[in-house]
Amino acid sequence: MLVTGSPVFRYHQYEPGAARGRTDPDNLRSRRGRARADGRCGVGDTGLILAALADAVGEAARATPQPREALARAAPGAAPLTAERVLDVMDELAPRDAIYVNEFTSTIEAMWERMRWERPGSYYFGAARGHGFAVPAAVGVQLAEPDR
């Protein structure tokens, strides 16, 4: 498994202890931040690592996977109003090139299942511990992508 440019293990509940640093290999070897069962991990320049990997990997011999079938839409007017229904309405009404910024882990699974993100750069998420991230991030994304 390769994870780059993103936290690997998201935090969903409080556990006492010191906050972890982002690039300290000792933190990566800790109980919850362990990248491998044997405790080995690597920290480096993401751009250089990905460039080396891109040079070493060829085109896949398999066909491009088919898009997933869309889930049945949540029933309008059903009570209580569910996150799934809100996401369905957003997906129906928003332009196909809309950009979404989210900071809540409680709805992420439903978003992945129900939203049709068709363009790269359509979804931004603070990977937990990011409450208050979405509003300033949305402003920054809009400044970076004024045509979307």
Same domain, 60 and 97: no
Q: What is the DSSP annotation of 11-59?
A: --S---SPPPPSS-HHHHTSTTT-SSTT-------HHHHHHHHHHH---
Q: pLDDT 10s digit of each residue in the chain, 148 long? A: 677 766 655 555 445 665 544 545 555 545 444 444 555 566 778 889 889 988 998 888 899 888 777 788 888 887 788 888 999 999 999 999 999 998 877 788 888 888 888 888 999 887 655 678 888 999 999 999 999 9
Domain assignment of residue 20, yes or no: yes
The reported pTM is: 0.53
Same domain, 58 and 101: no
Domain assignment of residue 72, yes or no: no
Same domain, 43 and 92: no
Q: Are 148 and 98 in contact (CB under 8 A)?
A: yes
Task: List for the chain the helix, strand, coil content (%; round to 5).
Answer: 30, 5, 65
Same domain, 58 and 87: no
Same domain, 32 and 91: no
How many independent structural domains does the chain possess? 2
Residue 23 lies in domain = 1-64
Domain assignment of residue 134, yes or no: yes
Identity of the residue numbered 77: G
